[in-house]
Amino acid sequence: MRARSAPGGHDRRVAGALAVFFVVLYGGFHHGSFKGTDEIGVFETTRSIYLLGRLSVPPGRHVFLGADGASYNHFAIGQSILALPFYGVGALSRAALPDDWAAVAAGPPGGAGPLRFGGTLEILTTSFYGVVASALLVVVFFWFERALGVSLRSSAVAALALGCTTYVAPMSAYFLRHTTEAILILGSLLALLSWSRSGRRGQLLLGCSLASAILLVRVPALIAGAGLALTLAFGLTRVHRTENLADCARAFLRDAPFILLPFFIAVAIHAGVNHAKWGTWFASPMVSQWQLFSTPLAEGLAGFLISPSTSVFLYSPPLLVACAVFPRLLRTRRVAALAALGISLSFLFFCAKFKIWSGLYSAPGPRYLFVATPLLMLGIGPWLDSAPGKTARLVWIGTLAVGAGIQLLLLVGNWGSAIQSLGYLEFEPQLGFLFDPAMSPLVGYANTVVEGQFSPWVLKLAVGWRGFAGAPSVAAGLAAAWLAILALSGLRLRRLLRPASSVSEG
């Protein structure tokens, strides 16, 4: 008879099953192309590093003249470097496959030159980064719920809700940096809170490393730094609680390298790259955007909270329940709840003042507030453990159903066609449509689905494109295989959760 494994091992298997399930789920809706210039800009740096070993890129959007006369975009290099293996898979596949196979696999061409957003294997595989990143975010969220003392089953259910019914799902189809920044922020907060309980310096180093890496992925995301710094300060006072001032000072000195070394390394890399591009250590076209914080605060807040086009609750309906039950988390896990709430509010007020707070047209929805979705959903696990009443469960199931429907629409529909069908680019006054329900991106997405304009790669393969008649039988076979693998991964996850009540929840 097989011996029962330790709870930690069982947790790892559940986390692994969640990762596989979501990679398969999101992979089936993989678009294989880019939708906006932000994605293209980050990709162009990846391409330049891989092919030329340089950071310079062709002229285009978000591209500026550097100190050496070459052109550079203003994005941090972190995600461009993380995406190198994905680009490499595409480059190697292009060399290995026959030209006609490679052309079909790459999907329909789109754009030209530095604004090419589809039609190459390198774009196809690099855009798969979003699939893996979103799945990883769900797994980090699951571990966070477990660290809060939530039962295994409730942690998994909360993670499934996050991944299937909130804004996390459609962001898997984008090569934007918001998912990466959310992983770093959530992971850093989790590691720092774990260190504050265990005193293990490995967790301190991990937390500070992830926090420092935010600078290398997306500079504006440093707004999370205050919340993470306060969490670190709380950990220091808790770990080194002592009456002996000399011992406390020595303990702080022993911790200092674990805190400061990752920070100085990240700053050195950022400053070095900045100097190579712009000839300055910290000033850059990205930093100069501080001049764009001119939106009236009330307008930005209304946009993020109640707009029919960009409200966080529209794109993630379960957040309505999550915010209602968040006070429970404040009572039971005060430090974690305050940190999550503080970081979310920091992003809300910071981004609400930004001139282009809506984030259009790189993606629909409140992408600048993306990190707030997993942070605020942390209260769901403890609430599920509290055995909510029948009415509360019905409301929860209702928000999950609506959320799942919205995410499916956002994954299947075509964002570029939605923009055109609603005439966003010609609208006067600019962005005036944001508070008109009839002009919501969801309406535009519904129009594209009715018109048969889809984004998933397998659907494009079925209907074809100019120069390719389509391969519906091949697409049907791939879809059937995907559904079978998805079902098997779901069954494995269910089997792992079924005996959860018999496994120690320590």
The per-residue pLDDT for range 71-110, each reduced to its tens digit, is 999 999 999 999 999 999 999 999 999 999 999 999 999 8
CA angle 373, 491, 151 (to 5 degrees): 50
> Tokens 């409140």 correspond to what residue?
366
What lies within 8 Å, CB to CB, of 219 at 6+ separation is 76, 286, 287
Of all residues in the chain, the percent with pLDDT exceeding 70 is 96
pLDDT tens, residue order, the chain (506 aa): 333 444 578 999 999 999 999 999 999 999 999 999 999 999 999 999 999 999 999 998 899 999 999 999 999 999 999 999 999 999 999 999 999 999 999 999 987 776 789 999 999 999 999 999 999 999 999 999 999 999 999 999 999 999 999 999 999 999 999 999 999 999 999 999 999 999 899 999 999 999 999 999 999 999 999 999 999 999 988 888 765 667 777 878 889 999 999 999 999 999 999 999 999 999 999 989 888 899 999 999 999 999 999 999 999 999 999 999 999 999 999 999 999 999 999 999 999 999 989 998 899 999 999 999 999 999 999 999 998 999 999 999 999 999 999 999 999 999 999 998 888 888 888 888 899 999 999 999 999 999 999 999 999 999 999 889 999 999 999 999 999 999 999 999 999 998 644 444 44
Structure-token pair, residue 301:
């807040």
Give the H or E element holding residue 169.
helix 168-171
Q: In terms of Cα–Cα distance, which of 143, 153, 132, 243 is closest to 188?
A: 143
Q: In terms of Cα–Cα distance, which of 256, 189, 266 is closest to 226?
A: 189
Amino acid at 359: G
Residue 126, SS3?
A: helix
Amino acid at 146: R
Q: What is the pLDDT of residue 401?
A: 98
- CA dist., res. 170 & res. 29, Å (int): 9
**Mutual angle of helices 7-28 and 152-165, in 10-degree steps:** 10
Asked if 375 and 343 touch (Cβ cutoff 8 Å), the reply is: yes
- CA dist., res. 86 & res. 120, Å (int): 13
> Tokens 């003042």 correspond to what residue?
353
Residue 4 DSSP symbol:
P
For the whole model, what pTM was predicted? 0.95
- CA dist., res. 247 & res. 253, Å (int): 10
- CA distances to 195, 201, 264 from 251, in Å: 14, 11, 20
Asked if 201 and 259 touch (Cβ cutoff 8 Å), the reply is: no
What does the domain layout of the chain look like in residue ranges?
A: 33-126
Asked if 55 and 277 touch (Cβ cutoff 8 Å), the reply is: yes
What's the N-to-C CA distance of the chain in angstroms?
23
368 cis-preceded (ω within 30 degrees of 0): no
Asked if 216 and 77 touch (Cβ cutoff 8 Å), the reply is: yes
Q: In terms of Cα–Cα distance, which of 378, 86, 336 is closest to 227?
A: 336
- CA dist., res. 369 & res. 312, Å (int): 8
- CA dist., res. 45 & res. 260, Å (int): 29
Q: In terms of Cα–Cα distance, which of 465, 461, 450, 468 is closest to 413?
A: 450
Write out the DSSP string of 400-431: HHHHHHHHHHHHHS-HHHHHHHHTGGG-SSTT
Instruction: Compute the chain's Rg from CA coordinates.
Output: 23
- CA dist., res. 502 & res. 498, Å (int): 9
- CA dist., res. 437 & res. 440, Å (int): 5
Tell me which long-range contacts 394-400 makes (C-beta under 8 A, separation of at least 24).
395/321, 396/318, 396/321, 399/165, 399/317, 399/318, 399/320, 399/321, 400/161, 400/164, 400/165, 400/317, 400/318
Question: Each residue of 207-235: b (16+ CB within 10 Å) or e?
Answer: bbbbbbbbbbbbbbbebbbebbebbbebb
Residue 94, SS3?
A: helix
Q: Residue 118: what are its φ and ψ, rounded to 5°?
A: -170, 170
Residue 493, SS3?
A: helix
- CA dist., res. 17 & res. 135, Å (int): 11
What lies within 8 Å, CB to CB, of 88 at 6+ separation is 50
Q: What is the 3-state secondary structure (H, E, C) of 6-69?
A: CHHHHHHHHHHHHHHHHHHHHHHCCCCCCCCHHHHHHHHHHHHHHHHCCCCCCCCCCEEECCCC
- CA dist., res. 140 & res. 152, Å (int): 14
